[in-house]
Amino acid sequence: MSIATNYTIHSDQRHFGWDCSIPPVEIVAPGDIVEFDTVDASGGQISPDSTVVDVANLDFSKVNPVTGPVSIDGAEPGDALKVSFLSFVPSGWGWTAIIPDFGLLADQFEEPALHIWKYDPETLDPAVYRPGIRVPLKPFAGTIGLAPAEEGQHSVVNPRRVGGNMDTRDINAGSVLYLPVEVPGGLFSMGDAHATQGDGEVCGTAIESPMRVCVQFEVVKGLNLNFPRFVTPGPVTRHLDKGGYDVTTGVGPDLMEAARAAVSDMIELIAKEHGLSPAEAYMLCSVCADLRISEIVDDPNWIVSFYFPRIVFD
């Protein structure tokens, strides 16, 4: 069902860094519904016909573009922008890559790799990775944020207080996100849409996919948030739960090293059991497996668990 929108922000109205001096492409009122047409995280450098050579030649000054910014009338510093996600209309294709010097296990995976995905954008049936391996889909936008008050251009690659590259799977259709406003109008932008992603996005990419996203804006006066917060409809893992999970763990005093250990062991497990190369297993983990902190109170060692959904191999 199509949603009546007040405005459409087209994909050519995009920028590559958060900057409060960028003029808004549109000024909208609270209650307005706005459609954002987003490009993929490569900024169009990777296409359905791309090869691994295109990954090796990525121009990082053009990655992770966001569509916008949009100014919301009446939003002032100290307020919160309430963003209700109404719909995601994906393109039907996407990509996952290992990018050299990027990702949780960059030191173990130094060579580029690429997988091009095709999926049905209407049914959103699980996307085929290879025969016998299908990944359930759950579209969302990875990068969502407002302009920071600090002058100058700020990277779109990392998250920050006003949002940014949060890569949070559960900010999906039906979710409501609250972002702290630092500049008049907020200056909202969005991009980096994913057809699906595992929590942690361990290789650094999900199923990166161009997408149209409809949102509705409201302003909550004087909320004075420290960081973003959101409400999401549940259950949040229903698309993955049916077959149960294989789980590996990492144990130690450093959460990052524990996460690396858990992911490394899962890559070894599924590569051996399902005939995948380590690079193929790493990319597959990134799009559907979830990192969780299982224990963080029993000093000196903490436990990080990595949940891989067995439904992928059904």
Domain CATH number, residue 252: 3.10.28.20
The C-alpha atoms of residue 162 and residue 148 are separated, in whole angstroms, by 6
Residue 234 scores a pLDDT above 90: no
* Domain co-membership, 208 together with 164: yes
* Domain co-membership, 132 together with 195: yes
Residue in 228, 94, 209 with CA at minimum distance from that of residue 142: 209
Q: In this structure, is residue 1 part of a structural domain?
A: no
At which of 231, 260, 289 does a domain end? 231
| Domain span at 130 | 7-231
Backbone angles phi, psi at 272, to 5 degrees: -70, -45
* Domain co-membership, 224 together with 79: yes
* Domain co-membership, 214 together with 128: yes
pLDDT in tens, 144-157: 999 999 999 999 99
Q: In this structure, is residue 197 part of a structural domain?
A: yes
> Which tokens hold the place of 151?
């002058």
* Domain co-membership, 152 together with 275: no
pLDDT in tens, 270-286: 999 999 999 999 999 99
DSSP string for residues in the chain: -----SEEE-TTSEESEE-TTSPPSEEE-TT-EEEEEE--TTTTSS-TT--HHHHHT--GGGSS-EEEEEEETT--TT-EEEEEEEEEEE-SEEEEEE-TT-STTTTT--S-EEEEEE--TTT-PPEEEETTEEE----EEEEEE---SSSS-EESSSEETTEEE---TTSBTT-EEEEE--STT--EEEEEEES---TT-TTS---B--EEEEEEEEEETT---SS-EEE--S-TTHHHHTT-EEEEEEEES-HHHHHHHHHHHHHHHHHHHHT--HHHHHHHHHHH-EEEEEE--STT-EEEEEEEEGGGG-
At which of 196, 216, 231 does a domain end? 231
97 CB neighbour count, 10 Å cutoff: 27
Q: In this structure, is residue 93 part of a structural domain?
A: yes
Residue 1 scores a pLDDT above 60: no
**What is the rounded (10 degree) CA torsion for 281, 286, 288, 294?**
110
Q: Which percentage of the chain shows pLDDT scores above 70?
A: 100
* Domain co-membership, 185 together with 293: no
Q: In this structure, is residue 131 part of a structural domain?
A: yes
Domain CATH number, residue 213: 2.60.120.580
Residue partners of 302: CB distance under 8 A and separation at least 6: 251, 252, 253, 255, 258, 293, 295, 296
* Domain co-membership, 273 together with 227: no
Q: In this structure, is residue 123 part of a structural domain?
A: yes
Question: What average pLDDT is seen over the chain?
Answer: 97
* Domain co-membership, 31 together with 54: yes
Task: Provide the pLDDT confidence category of residue 105 given band limits of 50, 70 and 90.
Answer: very high
**What is the rounded (10 degree) CA torsion for 63, 112, 124, 134?**
-160
Q: In this structure, is residue 142 part of a structural domain?
A: yes
* Domain co-membership, 159 together with 27: yes
Q: In this structure, is residue 288 part of a structural domain?
A: yes
* Domain co-membership, 222 together with 282: no
Residue 314 scores a pLDDT above 90: no
Based on the number of CB atoms within 10 Å of its own CB, is 236 exposed (0-12), middle (13-18) or buried (19 or more)? middle
> Which tokens hold the place of 287?
């799009």
pLDDT in tens, 117-139: 999 999 999 999 999 999 999 99
Residue 111 scores a pLDDT above 60: yes
- At 301 the pLDDT is 98
Q: How many domains does the chain have?
A: 2
pTM of the model: 0.97
* Domain co-membership, 48 together with 149: yes
Q: In this structure, is residue 2 part of a structural domain?
A: no
pLDDT in tens, 172-209: 999 999 999 999 999 999 999 999 999 999 999 999 99
* Domain co-membership, 53 together with 80: yes
At which of 231, 262, 285 does a domain end? 231
